[in-house]
Amino acid sequence: MTDASLSPAAFAFDAIAPIFDDRFGAWASVAAQRRAVRAALLQQFPPMGHVLEVGGGTGEDAVFLAERGFNVLLTDASPAMVHIARQKLSPLGSSAQVVAGEEMERFAEERRAAGEPLLDGAFSNFAPLNCVQDIRSVAKGLASLLKPGAVAMLVLFGTCCPAEMLVETLRRRPRNAFRRFRRGATPARLAKRNFEVFYHGASDLRREFQPWFELERKIGIGVAVPPSAAEPWISRHPRLLAHMETFDRAMASSLSSFGDHVLYQFRRRAWASHAVMRDTRIEYFEKNR
């Protein structure tokens, strides 16, 4: 895949891929938020299950699961990220493919045509789905990829993060302090490349996933543990961060809406509504008439 064919977000992450682990892996706040997500994944995924990661980047979470007996299929829009992830995952019997979040429906159709089995679960960490505007296309794709009753654990940016408001205000960046209240495309920048993010609210996600999934719970990831904007300062204060992590474990459910990230736990329904079945038939006949 050439640079010209990449989305702006994939182009930005492609550029930073070679240094991504060194840059973000050393930050204690990132590690703390990862621990919270991984604990939730291990609670929900069936042991030794075959699971999909959406927007898996360099494969750090996929490797964590693969080392614990899971068969992980990582997908990401960045070819450079996938190349790094594939090197980590191949020795563990797992795999990685270049698939953008916007392409989940097409990816599901290709797997179905190839006779691939349905998956036991799916997850996404650190908000790659915030780079996707059309969340319903992701929901439809996941619905075709997952077994009935399977769980999709999707981590997106929270839309009201007091910790970020405080950090960005202290850093004298007031425009960033309130950016999560915006709707529609919001400018972002990484590795000197511009792209757009979309702050999807809980009600929007519930609506777009509702035909195929039930939203079972929300978990705040980084309610007290601050966002990466607090780095490297917070990494120099491990005792303070440990207290913040303890607070998050106690309050992750009741204060989920105030997390730096929010983990949305969706359960694949065993049925689809009549409206969904009607729309599916219409789509089929439009394509094949």
User: First CA to last CA across the chain, in angstroms?
Assistant: 32
CB burial of residue 113 (10 Å; 0-12, 13-18, 19+): exposed
> What pLDDT score does 287 carry?
52
Task: Spell out the residues 6+ positions from residue 176 whose beta carbon is closer than 8 angstroms to its own.
Answer: 164, 168, 229
> What pLDDT score does 4 carry?
60
CATH of the domain at 22: 3.40.50.150
Q: Among all chains, which residue has been given the structure tokens 């693969």?
A: 66
- pLDDT, average across residues 159-185: 95
Q: How many domains does the chain have?
A: 1
Cis ω for the linkage preceding 227 (within 30 of 0): no
- The DSSP call for residue 139 is H
Say if residue 277's pLDDT is above 50: no
CA dihedral of residues 82, 130, 186, 206 (deg, nearest 10): 160
> What pLDDT score does 281 carry?
47
61-111: pLDDT as tens digits: 999 999 999 999 999 999 999 999 999 999 999 999 999 999 999 999 999
> What pLDDT score does 272 carry?
61
| Least-confidence region, from 54-58, 74-78, 274-278 | 274-278
Q: Which residues pair with 187 in a beta bridge?
A: 196
Cα separation, 31 vs 242, whole angstroms: 11
Provide the residue range defining the domain that includes 36.
3-288
| Least-confidence region, from 7-16, 192-201, 277-286 | 277-286
> What pLDDT score does 3 carry?
63
Q: How far is CA 204 from CA 84, 135, 198, in A?
A: 33, 9, 11
Cα separation, 226 vs 258, whole angstroms: 11
Say if residue 275's pLDDT is above 80: no
CB–CB of 119/184 below 8 Å? no
- The answer to whether the pTM exceeds 0.85 is yes
